[in-house]
Amino acid sequence: MDIILGIRVQEGTIIAASKAATRGISILKDTDDKTRILNTHNLVAFTGESGDTVHFTEYIQANIQLHTMRENDLELSPSAVASFVRNQLATSLRSRKPYQVNVLLAGYDVKTNTPTLNWIDYLGTQTELPYGAHGYAAFYCSSLLDRHYRTDMNIDEGLKLLDDCLEELERRMPIDFKGCYIKVVDKDGVRDITK
Amino acid sequence: MSDPSSINGGTAVAMVGKDCIAIASDLRLGNQSLGLANNFEKVFQFGDKTFMALTGLASDVITLKETFRLKNNLYNLREEREIEPQTLANLVSSTLYEKRFGPYFIGPIVAGLDSKTSKPFICGFDLIGCIDFAKDFIVSGTATDQLYGMCESLYEPNLEPEDLFETISQALLNAVDRDALSGWGAVVYIVTKDKVVKRTLRTRQD
Amino acid sequence: MSRRYDSRTTIFSPEGRLYQVEYAQEAISQAGTAIGILSTEGVVLACEKKFTSKLLDNDGSAEKLYILNDNMICAVAGMTADAGILINNVRVQAQQYLKTYNEQIPCELLIKRICDVKQGYTQHGGLRPFGVSFLYAGYDDRYEFQLFTSNPSGNYSGWKATSIGANNSAAQTLLKKDYKDDLSLKDACNLAIKVLSKTMDASSLNSDKLEFATLSLSKLEKGKTVRKIWKDEEIDLLIKESGVLDEKKDDDE
């Protein structure tokens, strides 16, 4: 029931991730951050089996940072990060115990000055999208985003659309997900703009 | 529902014409009933006149696309020439059979023209690499049943490239319209001795 | 003295030297010269073919020049058979990087990977080091055109113009004298021919004794490179146009 949502706009990519950490019928925490920063222009948001999620994303984070160090501070581009993550999940899928982790990767390619949003599920299905979500949020928000998304949106318009999505989710989801952390990845890197 | 080869949906088809071949796929990528993307091409080019289509589990489609790119690139460097459709077919077969007891959930098609004789070649595979050689057409994906019906009724031998394009397009379009997991646009490649033409088809978006 | 310390690659001599590695380097300094020159528009690699015979049945592919991947070529000096093993390895590494990241491997990273293999054989016992030096011409979007060399010890370095193999010090002196930062690819080709014509002991210069390759940017596709291994006729034409044969004649007179 965790929510992660992403919208790509002209100057960057916006990510929203719910704050609630749930287990069974209980909410354990209302300040759970389901995102990790991989490098200056790449942010990953995740949902899935608890335990797997944090372990997997922190493993990815460590490997991306190791690559940065080895390549004297040359950071991997968003598409390279997405391919790497996809490959890890696809390999894991055929292991004894696959990681059950779905991710959204928000990135900004500093070489081409383009923002990206990559959708990857635990099977290793990867696609570059203008907007996307995992889990139930996808069912509630897809049609809303199809109707109101424009390719020429700026950050403020993107945030307004995101608010509409979150309002819909608050109205329709059966449990309180305690609001969302909202983060933006653009030419200046990753920043938290949670209200 | 949890059948891996029909989680993401998608369909492909190849046909033989007179000194030409056509290979086509839809563009949908879905997650069960939810559509994710309408730009997911399933036809890939290996060399001048050799093509491969991959349908099935999208993760495996991507993995195999990358694996065959790797193998093809190394083949090009080693042999200093491009791969023939026949050769690619055998490469696909052996690569899939390596995973006999934990297979990739895909249904590949190989189609192309021989570089020397320009003889058309098409074939399909099951998920563990058994080759299905055909003289007329090969179908694959979640709209397989519908495609068989369309191809059986529309196909005729020795079609010219333009007629082959019309036949394969109508077969694919009308088949995917009866499949909830396929559609959302299509691509068709028409391969003749002197050129390759790629066309994108607009279809119903539901 | 050296007898005691050169039988195994893993043993330092009392002066702190690894004899087997030095012998490998010595073997390379007997091999045909290979030179590389960086220009603003691309990189040129040229090498001298040592063994030529009328009876040799050549399949048309180059002997000492190899394509590594979409944006790198290399020239070999030393034992070609050893080079084959390393080149095969490096091609696979490059393709594996492409598979995991969907991006071409940065030149220096690929070279680092070959050099790790080379270094391994100077340390882990029982085996001899690879008897090859390489000249690499590469392109990537961070540093654009690059020229590197590596030797049997596993060290590598970047250059504007350099040479490996026989007479390499003479070639380097000539390169140092004539290299300019604003060379065009054509100028670099001419310079390569000129230097080779002076360092090779053979009297007449022609395509039988030369191999030539260039790496430049594609005019059709942005960011793509053209890796060209030259045909015999193209080499002969270049030799003719560069005018080194005329100069030679003048020298003789």
Q: Tell me how far apart the alpha carbons of residues C154 and C165 are, in angstroms, rounded to a whole number.
A: 16
Q: Is residue C83 part of a domain?
A: yes
Say if residue C68 is exposed, middle or buried (CB neighbours under 10 Å; 0-12, 13-18, 19+).
buried
**Structural domains of chain C, count:** 1
Q: Is residue C161 part of a domain?
A: yes
In this complex, do C141 and A83 lie within 8 Å of one another by their Cβ atoms?
no
In this complex, do A119 and B102 lie within 8 Å of one another by their Cβ atoms?
no
Q: CB neighbours of C5 closer than 8 A, spacing ≥ 6?
A: C11, C12, C13, C14, C17, C19
CB B59 within 8 A of CB A120: no
pLDDT at C245: 72
Chain B contacts of C93, Cβ < 8 Å?
none
CA distance to partner chain B, nearest, from residue C177 (Å): 37
Output the CA torsion sign for C174, C177, C178, C182.
Answer: positive
User: Which SS3 state, helix, strand or coil, does residue B7 take?
Assistant: coil
Say if residue C196 is exposed, middle or buried (CB neighbours under 10 Å; 0-12, 13-18, 19+).
buried
Token code pair at residue B100 = 């006999």
CB B171 within 8 A of CB B13: yes
Residue C87 lies in domain: 18-49+61-248
In this complex, do A127 and B37 lie within 8 Å of one another by their Cβ atoms?
yes
Token code pair at residue C56 = 């040799």
Q: Is residue C219 part of a domain?
A: yes
Q: CB neighbours of C88 closer than 8 A, spacing ≥ 6?
A: none
* Chain C contacts in chain A segment 8-37 (CB below 8 A): none
Closest CB to A71 among C99, C100, C106: C106
Q: Tell me how far apart the alpha carbons of residues B113 and B14 are, in angstroms, rounded to a whole number.
A: 13
A138 in B contact zone (CB under 8 Å): yes
Q: Tell me how far apart the alpha carbons of residues C128 and B182 are, in angstroms, rounded to a whole number.
A: 58
Domains of chain B by start residue, with CATH: 4-201 (3.60.20.10)
The DSSP-derived string for C194-251 is HHHHHH---SS--TTSEEEEEEEE-SSSTT-EEEEEPPHHHHHHHHHHHTHHHHHHHH
CB B55 within 8 A of CB B42: yes
Q: Tell me how far apart the alpha carbons of residues A49 and A99 are, in angstroms, rounded to a whole number.
A: 8
Token code pair at residue A25 = 């019928």
- pTM of the shown model: 0.95
CB B57 within 8 A of CB B8: yes
CB A61 within 8 A of CB A37: yes
CA nearest to C85, candidates C120, C53, C124: C120
Token code pair at residue C234 = 């193209």
Instruction: Write the pLDDT tens digit of every residue in B118-150.
Output: 999 999 999 999 999 999 999 999 999 999 999
Token code pair at residue C111 = 């070279």
pLDDT at B31: 97
Q: Is residue C199 part of a domain?
A: yes
pLDDT at B24: 98
Q: What ipTM was reported for this prediction? A: 0.96
pLDDT beneath 50, residues of chain B? none
Rounded-to-10 torsion of CA C103, C109, C110, C114: -160
In this complex, do A80 and C99 lie within 8 Å of one another by their Cβ atoms?
no
- DSSP assignment, residue A108? E
Q: What is the pLDDT along chain A (195 residues), one digit of tens a residue?
A: 799 999 999 999 999 999 999 999 999 999 999 999 999 999 999 999 999 999 999 999 999 999 999 988 889 999 999 999 999 999 999 999 999 999 999 999 999 999 999 999 999 999 999 999 999 999 999 999 999 999 999 999 999 999 999 999 999 999 999 999 999 999 999 999 998
Q: CB neighbours of C54 closer than 8 A, spacing ≥ 6?
A: none
CB A118 within 8 A of CB A128: yes
CB C224 within 8 A of CB C217: yes
Q: Is residue C13 part of a domain?
A: no
Closest CB to A76 among C99, C101, C141: C101
Give me the CATH number covering residue C45: 3.60.20.10
- Centre a 10 Å sphere on the Cβ of residue A195 and count the other Cβ atoms it contains: 7
Q: Are strands B11-16 and C132-140 parallel, antiparallel or unpaired?
A: unpaired
CA nearest to C196, candidates C64, C22, C6: C64
In this complex, do B80 and C91 lie within 8 Å of one another by their Cβ atoms?
no
Q: Which residues of C47-62 are buried (b: 16+ CB within 10 A; e: fewer)?
A: bbbbeeeeeeeeeeeb
Q: What is the 3-state secondary structure (H, E, C) of C62-94?
A: CCCEEEEECCEEEEEEECHHHHHHHHHHHHHHH
Chain A contacts of B29, Cβ < 8 Å?
125, 127
Residue of A74, A111, A118, A128 to mutate, interface with C, max C Cβ within 10 Å: A74
Q: Tell me how far apart the alpha carbons of residues A7 and C161 are, in angstroms, rounded to a whole number.
A: 49
The DSSP-derived string for B147-186 is HHHHHHHH--SS--HHHHHHHHHHHHHHHHTT-TTS-S-E
Q: What is the pLDDT along chain C (253 residues), one digit of tens a residue?
A: 566 777 666 788 889 888 888 989 988 988 899 999 999 999 999 999 877 677 888 777 788 999 999 999 999 999 999 999 999 999 999 999 999 999 999 999 999 999 999 999 888 866 789 999 999 999 998 899 999 999 999 999 999 999 999 989 999 999 999 999 999 999 999 999 999 998 887 667 888 889 999 999 999 988 899 999 999 999 999 998 887 777 666 665 5
Q: CB neighbours of C244 closer than 8 A, spacing ≥ 6?
A: C193, C194, C197, C205
Inter-chain contacts counted by CB atoms under 8 A, chains B and C: 20
CB C78 within 8 A of CB C129: no
CA distance to partner chain A, nearest, from residue C102 (Å): 6
Q: Tell me how far apart the alpha carbons of residues A145 and A64 are, in angstroms, rounded to a whole number.
A: 31
Q: Tell me how far apart the alpha carbons of residues A171 and B135 are, in angstroms, rounded to a whole number.
A: 57
CA nearest to B124, candidates B96, B153, B161: B96
CB C131 within 8 A of CB C152: yes
C203 in B contact zone (CB under 8 Å): no
C58 in B contact zone (CB under 8 Å): no
